[in-house]
Amino acid sequence: MEALLPLFVVIPLGFAFITALLGRYIPLFHRIAIPLVFLFLSVLSVWMMANLRETVLTYMVGGWEPVNGIPVGIHLSADGFSVLLLVIINSLAFLSAFYSYAYIEQYTSGHYFYALFCLMVAGMNGVAVTGDIFNLYVFLEIAAIASYALVAFGIKKEELEASFKYQVLGGIGSLFILFGIGVLYWATGTLNMADIHKIIGSTAVSPGIVFAGVLLLAGFGIKSAMVPFHSWLPDAHSSAPSPISAMLSGVLIKSIGIYCLLRFFFNIFTASSQVAYVITTLGVASMVIGAFLAIYQWDIKRLLAYSSISQIGYVVMSAGIGLILLCNHGDIHVAALAIFGGIYHLMNHAFFKGLLFLNAGSLEYRLKTRNLLKMGGLASSMPVTSSTSLVASMAIAGIPPFNGFFSKLVIIVAAVKSGFYGLAIIAVIVSIITLSLFLKFQRYAFYGKPSESATTEKDVPFSMEGTMILLAVCCLLLSLLIFPFFRNLILMPAVHALMNATI
């Protein structure tokens, strides 16, 4: 099974360049082949998840065996968390690519769109499977550069400007990460994640390692748009084509931001409670400020983008609480519950935020506007878009029986059990604000008085409708993960993978 790991990078990378080569001459090739590729990869990742359970796979690229116990060469490794991320990335990539089948007709040179899309997924898959910190940086940059280009894909004023802003801030973030990796290599003399953890664990805390930790926290904070560093996200995510917005908000900030952050601070550094408090504070700040900023937005996609900041805050806060408990030798079960809540919410957010961005894309596809004030009364003319967006809104606002309710419940219960009553109350309040946000979205877009300026007779084409229905079903089915059987199968390996190294 180890030999399958490189395929997650090689297949999308290969298809990116096949598309760039052939797409110009065979118009339908990429629109049919690329979704099939991602379908294959998501089936493969689900199969790996079913077989992997609690084991950790290590794969030595080029067959470079360790010399005297010191790893040489690049290692790929997969544990529960990376495989979970692979499933999220590839299934959402499949759905977005299938959605793009009809959506991409608005643009010329669609083959470049698919080529960049494949490159982005290759980078994200690479981040998930790599076990080497410099290799992580390279894959992170592949994903990031492809996303910079995709944000500017429409080459209108706003898109170019958003892309420039995103590139400058993302570039600073990348350079911080590279600097951190350099300092870490200087302090430990190795690039292998497991090896670094062993060396850091066996020596006293040195200033170099603390400095590297600060740099990496800042870098990944920028990449995952935590609150002091969030200013690029609303512009970039709202300017991109909608399937790409779904990928950026649903997967990209998680795989190159949150995943790397958790990987570094749980599995590589020896956890210290100061860092854990900083991470929790960042999470709470993102959660609150993101929600408040979202209220004022009248552009649907900007509203959704700000709400992404807020929802990511939940994930980070919950993981931070888990890290605090682990550092202070608190109750190990509560810590596991907090991390479980964070990862569960991460998975849920990928699906419902992906669905919401696709809904916004459908509205934009038919109405050519993103302004909520120019819509209204669309529930009757666009029934599929309306009903699926209702499902997603209820999921994100935390209304049972949808998945968002259960993950938020777990996070709040974990916060109460660990004694952070204030954080639990804040989480509830932010959840109520989120509810009001999405009531506003529903009210102005689908109900109320029909507006004259933007009306449509029919709903969107089949591929877009089908994707949205599939995602809505996913939102309902993911709430099954709260039951112990599914939880132990899918989410607990990820929680244990994060906790094992820290204990």
Partner 1 sequence: MNGMSLIVKKITQLMAGIIFLYGVYVMLHGHLTPGGGFAGGTIVAGSFILLIVANGIRVFGLHREEQLSSAVESIAILVFLLLATAGLLTGAMWFFQNYMPHGTPGNLVSAGLIPVYNLVVGTEVAAALLTIFLGFVIYKAED
Partner 2 sequence: MVLFIMCFILFLVGLYGVITRRNLIKIIIALSIMEYSLNLFFILIGYRKGGEIPILKDAGAVPPVVVDPLPQAMILTAIVIGLATTALLLAIAIRLYRKYKTFDVSGINALKG
Answer whether 313's CB lies under 8 Å from 224's CB.
Answer: no
Nearer to partner 2, 160 or 489 (CB): 160
Interface with partner 2, residue 165, by CB under 8 A: yes
Interface stretch with partner 2, choices 57-65, 76-84, 138-146, 391-399 (CB under 8 A): 138-146
- 167 lies in the site for partner 2, by CB under 8 A: yes
DSSP string, 297-330: --BHHHHHHHHHHHHHHHHHHHHHHHHHHHHTT-
For residue 63, state whether it binds partner 1 (rule: CB under 8 A): yes
Does 431 interact with partner 2 (rule: CB under 8 A)? no
**Nearest residue (CB) to partner 2, 145 versus 350:** 145
Binding partner of 179, given partner 2, partner 1, none, CB within 5-8 angstroms per partner class: partner 2
21 binding partner (options partner 2, partner 1, none; Cβ < 5 to 8 Å by kind) = partner 1
Binding partner at 13 among partner 1, partner 2, none, C-beta below 5 to 8 Å by kind: partner 1
- Give the single-character DSSP code of 25: T
What secondary structure does DSSP assign to 369-383, as a single string? Answer: --BGGG---TTTT-H
Q: CB of 152: closest distance to partner 2 in angstroms?
A: 6
Q: Which two tokens stand for residue 78?
A: 């997969």
If phi > 0 it is left, if psi is from -120 to 50 it is alpha, else beta; for residue 402 that is beta
Give min distance, CB of 145 to partner 1, in A.
13
User: According to the binding rule CB under 8 A, does residue 429 interact with partner 1?
Assistant: no
Contact segment (CB under 8 A) with partner 2 among 43-51, 150-158, 372-380, 446-454 equals: 150-158
Q: In this structure, are residues 166 and 244 in contact, taking their beta carbons and an 8 Å threshold?
A: no
Q: Which does 60 bind (CB under 5 to 8 A by kind): partner 2, partner 1, none?
A: partner 1
Q: State the minimum distance, in angstroms, from the CB of residue 133 to partner 2.
A: 10
Q: Is 160 in the site for partner 1 (CB under 8 A)?
A: no
User: For partner 1, which is the closer residue by CB, 16 or 367?
Assistant: 16
At its nearest, how many Å lie between partner 1 and the CB of residue 22? 9
Nearer residue to partner 2 within complex by CB, 182 or 448: 182
Q: Which residue reads 């609480």 in tokens?
A: 321
- Which DSSP string corresponds to 52-97? HTT--EEEEGGG-PPBTTB--S-EEEE-HHHHHHHHHHHHHHHHHH
Residues 6+ apart with CB under 8 A from 390: 442, 446
Q: Which of 62, 69, 207, 484 binds partner 1 (CB under 8 A)?
A: 62
Q: Does 10 bind partner 1 (CB under 8 A)?
A: yes
- Binding status of residue 210 toward partner 1 by CB under 8 A: no
Task: Give the contacts of 457 (CB within 8 A, at least 6 positions apart).
Answer: 381
| Residue 164 near partner 2 by CB under 8 A | yes
Cβ within 8 Å of residue 332, ≥6 positions away: 325, 326, 499, 503
Q: Does 160 bind partner 2 (CB under 8 A)?
A: yes
Smallest separation (angstroms) from partner 2 to the CB of 69:
18
Query: Cβ atoms within 10 A of the Cβ of 247, count?
Result: 29
| 3-class secondary structure, 130 | strand
**How many Å apart are CA 120 and CA 114, to the nearest integer?**
10
Residue of 78, 122, 162, 284 that binds partner 2 (CB under 8 A): 162
Residues 248 and 336: beta-carbon distance below 8 Å: no
The reply to whether 149 sits near partner 2 by the rule CB under 8 A is yes
Which of residues 48 and 309 has its CB atom nearest to partner 2 in the complex? 309
Decide if residue 7 touches partner 2 (CB under 8 A): no
Pairing of strands 75-78, 57-60: antiparallel
Answer for the pair 252, 223: CB distance below 8 angstroms, yes or no: no
Q: Interface with partner 2 includes 107 (CB under 8 A)?
A: no
Site for partner 2 in 226-245 (CB under 8 A): 235, 239
Q: 3-state secondary structure string, 188-236?
A: HCCCEHHHHHHHHHHCCCCHHHHHHHHHHHHHHHHHCCCHHHCCHHHHH
Number of DSSP helices (H) and strands (E) in the chain, helices first = 21, 2
| Alpha carbons 146 and 140: distance in angstroms, whole number | 10
- Binding status of residue 157 toward partner 2 by CB under 8 A: yes
Residue 60 engages partner 2 in binding (rule: CB under 8 A): no
Q: Which stretch binds partner 2 (CB under 8 A): 133-141, 248-256, 349-357, 425-433?
A: 133-141
Cβ 71 to partner 2, closest distance in Å? 12
Tell which one of 26, 56, 60, 278 touches partner 1 (CB under 8 A).
Answer: 60
- Tell me which DSSP letter residue 185 carries: H
Q: Assess 179 for contact with partner 2 (CB under 8 A).
A: yes
Q: Which residues bind partner 1 (CB under 8 A)?
A: 3, 6, 10, 13-14, 17-18, 20-21, 59-63
Q: Which residues bind partner 2 (CB under 8 A)?
A: 134, 137-138, 141, 145, 148-149, 152, 155, 157-158, 160-165, 167-168, 171-172, 174-175, 178-179, 182, 185-186, 191, 235, 239
